[in-house]
Structure 1
């Protein structure tokens, strides 16, 4: 199972509201060699870490692909760039954020996110904006290093990380 976390909290000059940017990003990601097979609901979530930024809209998609992990990550970065994402400050507001959360059961030893793929995503188990949509579409998916399901990881989180499902 291959999962991609998606988020946006800034208006896009072409697509407008963050949810519209995310919908357009899904259409852009889909190619004959990468197909979306499941999509969670849209979640409105507080920024992490806590800040005065606008709240995010997040979701998780499951994809099928014949592409190797590094090529999937490159595709995500290409789409972010196409949508105007500029990486300057960690955890800044953004028009689009695409994260490779998991690629089958692979585990990379590289924990430096600036140098290639890191799976499973090193912070996913700490973030409701990832776990809530992931648990919606794959509650029984098991984190390959923690050996807990998405639903179990979500249940362990503090309720301080607020989220709500928003209409499609």
Structure 2
């Protein structure tokens, strides 16, 4: 199973964040990353202490022949096409595409886990280093892959969600279709 998280909180030429995420899904398909399932879209509050608009988040299950590094490179290319500017961590953005899991592979990358800030993309690490702490990822992940298990800990999505502090789930609401 290959899982990609999508998020954004700034408008683009495609419209507001939800329309941008929908356009990004089409772009993934155009680049040979076949989207097979998409969660609901969720409005989520920003994690940043900086004042900024709410995010729209979703998770997609995709199929591709690409390996993890090549897939991540294509996702970063799509981010750039959609005007992604990398600033400090947790800042507003037009589009964020995170490779959450790629066929259960485990890849440790120096500097990826626990990195706080930076202007470039983090190195490949699988599963995504922040997946277990992010309600805004786990809630839509449950929609699209309710039986998914963390490749390192073996915990299922429900167990990961239950382990979150209540504030990690506050304000996460599905958008109307």
TM range (shorter): over 0.9
Count residues with an aligned counterpart: 167
Deviations 1:89-148 (A, max 9, x none): 221100100000111111112142356311101111001110000011111111011110
Q: Aligned pair in 2 of structure 1 residues 137, 115: CA closer, same or farther (>3 Å)? A: closer
CA RMSD, Structure 1 to Structure 2 (Å):
1.4
1:59 aligns to what SS in structure 2?
strand
Moved over 4 A (4+): none
1:61 aligns to what SS in structure 2?
strand
Contact preservation (8 Å) 1:135, 1:154: no
Q: Aligned pair in 2 of structure 1 residues 111, 39: CA closer, same or farther (>3 Å)? A: farther
Q: Distance in 2 between matches of 1:44 and 1:124?
A: 18
Does 1:165 find its partner at 2:164? no
Runs (5+) with no aligned partner, structure 1:
none
Q: Distance in 2 between matches of 1:63 and 1:159?
A: 30
Runs (5+) with no aligned partner, structure 2:
113-120
What is the TM-score with the length of structure 1 in the denominator?
0.94
What is the TM-score with the length of structure 2 in the denominator?
0.89
Contact preservation (8 Å) 2:50, 2:91: no
